[in-house]
Amino acid sequence: MAAANLSVLVGKNCACIKITGRANFASSPDFKTLLDQLAQKGFRHFMIDLTECVLMDSTFLGVLAGFGMKLNPNGAPSERGIELLNATTRVSELLENLGAVHLFNLSAGPLRLPEDAKACVSDSINPSHEQITRTSLEAHQTLMAMNPENVARFKDVAQFLAEDLKNVEKSS
């Protein structure tokens, strides 16, 4: 399954990430690495443009939610550092159903970039099976920790991923 394309523009105080295509488990390690690198560079406000994001799976959402929790550990609405622009109805419902919507500011309309925005290269880490599995496991553990209702939804997935990760680590 093809991974999403991630385009990045950075300004003085804001990082804008445009997600095109399918935001799924295959693109989650690259997305997680990108978010961590931008945070290490000091960015605290993120605009995620979902205008051309046709699908978001639970792994990708778990990575996004985990990052939202890192940026806003107190859960205060005034401290939300991630704006999701033009989320589809399906993605909005997923955020609501999994109990993650409170981590983000949702908005619609054209992307308004800061005047000083410039392109930033987003390198793919070309993730291994082990990296994809570890990222998927961590994402599902985040979703379960964030909302107790998610335990029933994802405990079997998390168990499968944990076993798969053990097998991959043994064989490497």
| E strand or H helix at 117 | none
Domain boundaries, the chain: 5-124
Query: What are 92-101's pLDDT values in tens digits?
Result: 999 999 999 9
- Span 19-31, average pLDDT: 94
3-state per-residue secondary structure call for 45-86: EEEEECCCEEEECHHHHHHHHHHHHHHCCCCCHHHCCEEEEC
**Residue 17 to residue 15: CA distance in whole angstroms:** 7
Query: What are 134-168's pLDDT values in tens digits?
Result: 999 999 999 999 999 999 999 999 999 999 999 98
Share of the chain above pLDDT 90, in %: 67
- Span 48-61, average pLDDT: 94
**So what's the pLDDT on residue 75?**
65
Domain 5-124: give its CATH architecture: 2-Layer Sandwich (3.30)
Q: What is the pTM of this model?
A: 0.91
With a cut of 80, say whether residue 76 has pLDDT above it: no
